[in-house]
Each structure stands twice: as C-alpha cells, then as structure tokens.
Structure 1
Amino acid sequence: KSQSVSIGSRVVFMGSGPLLYLVASQYVKAGAEVAAVLDTSPFSKRIGAMPKLLARPGLLFNGMKLLAQLYSAKVPVHLGVQPEEIMGSEQDGVTGVRVKL
C-alpha cells in the first residue's frame, strides 16, 4: 500500500470489503485506469452492516469519501456482482471477467 506499486495500467477490482474501495481509489490517484469496481457482497450484508457503521460515523464518512472519489473519476461501481468466470492464462494473467450484475 505505501509503495504505490501498480499491477497494470488498466485494472478491474473485484471483491468485497472496505479495502476494495481503498485500493481502487489509490490506483486512481496513482494514475491507473480503473475500468470498474465490482463489489461481490450481497445487498443483505450491506444492510446488516449499517447499525455498526452508524455507530462509527468516521468510518462511514471515510467509505463515502472513497466512493465519491471513484465516482468523481468516473469509475463504474457495481454492487452485488456475482462472478461467473475469470479469463486469462498463467502467461498473460487475468485478461477479463464475466459477471452477473
């Protein structure tokens, strides 16, 4: 995180949790093209986390700030994504993802 090392110039982030948005935001700041952020956490989990987030307004604000930075950079953010296939090879790495939105 502190070394500002970028994996590629055009990237997609897929996963769940607050670090997903933090790393995507850091990549945007470093100049990488973040093609999309694909959050795999189901809607019910996000709703279930609300009482804890409301009890920690600073944490909630930081998350909202990260989302605002991504939206400002015109990064598409998709919630509740279901991964179906990760494409690529050992030689080329990941070349694409197929998801259900």
Structure 2
Amino acid sequence: MSVFGKYVDYLAYHCDDCGATFLARLDPYKCKFCGSNNIDPAENKRVCSHCGKLMNDGYVFYDGEAYYCSDECLHQHFSEAEYIRAFNSDDAYWTEW
C-alpha cells in the first residue's frame, strides 16, 4: 500500500451513455456498469486516496499526489501537525472542484 493510501493514482470517469461515474486506476476502455466505451475523465471529481470515495471537495496534498475526503481519512496518513506544516509550506490545502 502506498504511504498516501491504497487508492492513490485512481481517477474518476464518467460514462456518457449510462451516466455513471466510477473510479479506475488505469485508463479504462469501457464503463464498469454498462460496458460502453463512451467514457471520459469525470470533471470536478477526485478519488479519496484512503477510502476510494468519489469527492467533490477535500484535502489536496503535493499538487494532487494524494486526496482525502475527510479528517478521518486524512489522519490515517498525516497528523494534524503534519497537515499544518504542509499547509504552511503550500503543500496541502482544502478545496472544492
């Protein structure tokens, strides 16, 4: 498992045919739900590096190397003091997509 979580490098995708949004580690060639190949990266979604939840907002670390949906997921990998140090050095922040 990655130091940042087991869902590091996962991306969100959207199927234009069935409307589903799903996550995948590598570029998928078809939708996980309907099998269509009419898929694109999902805009305004990220994947929590710890739990795999699709996110509309959350913590960002190191220019997108890791994302966390909640304090609970964040603190599985970083203490509050580590987050504050990263935030103060512009290596971490909270945002909405």
TM bucket normalised to smaller: under 0.3
Scaled by the length of structure 1, the TM-score of the pair is 0.25
Provide TM-score, normalisation by structure 2: 0.26
